[in-house]
Amino acid sequence: MRIVFIGPPGAGKGTQSANLIGHLKVPHLSTGDILRLAREEKTKVGLMAAEFIDAGRLVHDPVVVEVVGERLKQPDCQKGCLFDGFPRTLGQAESLDDYLDTNETPLDLVLALDVPENILIERLIARGRGDDNLDAIQTRFNDYQTITRPLLDYYERRGLLHEIDGTGTPEEVFDRIKAVIDNT
């Protein structure tokens, strides 16, 4: 199965991705994780991405598309994968579509986690990752609303979108996700 997982920062994508990959037995492709690892390893991409991550700004599309392309070439992605935090822009979504069309491996569904902003801010501040300061959080929210949210329409038009209520306990949210997946 190929699933795109969309949601604002703090929506619980990381937690639910861990549940999902256990359920579906497909690899987890998180661009946030890939970029943070590249940064730790001080690769060229990682050094370039670091200042964007700290400022809460989106890394440029060609860089993100390149790292995703590299990851998708690995044999474990042949059976499917969970895209977490990618695509985040229309350009990324179109690149992904081109890639998947060429390989005749279409997406099965798009899950969008929906959580009110006041709850998101509380969760992010409690999490306290390096880029979870108020300025970076605000930038990430603004970019989510203006740049990433339009992807919901993009996928809705393709009949792939499923919006999930992301409030409540992680177990409650996962039950909602499983209900969608088991009906697809």
Query: Interface residues for ligand ADP in 129-148 (CB under 6 A)?
Result: 140
Which one of 51-59, 100-108, 161-169, 176-184 is the stretch in contact with ligand ADP (CB under 6 A)?
A: 51-59
Position 58 contacts ligand ADP (CB under 6 A): yes
Segment 163-166 long-range contacts (CB within 8 Å, at least 24 positions apart): 163/112, 163/114, 164/111, 164/112, 164/113, 164/114, 165/114, 166/7, 166/11, 166/12, 166/113, 166/114, 166/115
Position 111 contacts ligand ADP (CB under 6 A): no
Q: Is 158 a catalytic residue?
A: no
Q: How far is the CB of 6 from ligand ADP (least distance, A)?
A: 10
Amino acid 118 reads: N
Position 86 contacts ligand ADP (CB under 6 A): yes
Q: Is 129 a catalytic residue?
A: yes
Decide if 152 contacts 161 (C-beta within 8 A). Answer: yes
Local structure of 24: helix, strand or coil = helix
Q: Is 140 a catalytic residue?
A: yes
Position 31 contacts ligand ADP (CB under 6 A): yes
The separation between CA 133 and the C-alpha centre of its own chain, rounded to angstroms, equals 20
What does the alpha-carbon distance between residue 144 and residue 6 come to, in Å, rounded to a whole number?
A: 10
Q: Is 25 a catalytic residue?
A: no
Position 53 contacts ligand ADP (CB under 6 A): yes
Nearer to ligand ADP, 127 or 179 (CB): 127
Nearer to ligand ADP, 64 or 109 (CB): 64
What does the alpha-carbon distance between residue 1 and residue 67 come to, in Å, rounded to a whole number?
A: 21
Which residue numbers are catalytic?
13, 88, 127, 129, 140
Q: Can you give the binding site for ligand ADP, defined by CB under 6 A? A: 9, 31-32, 35, 52-53, 56-59, 64, 85-86, 88, 92, 140
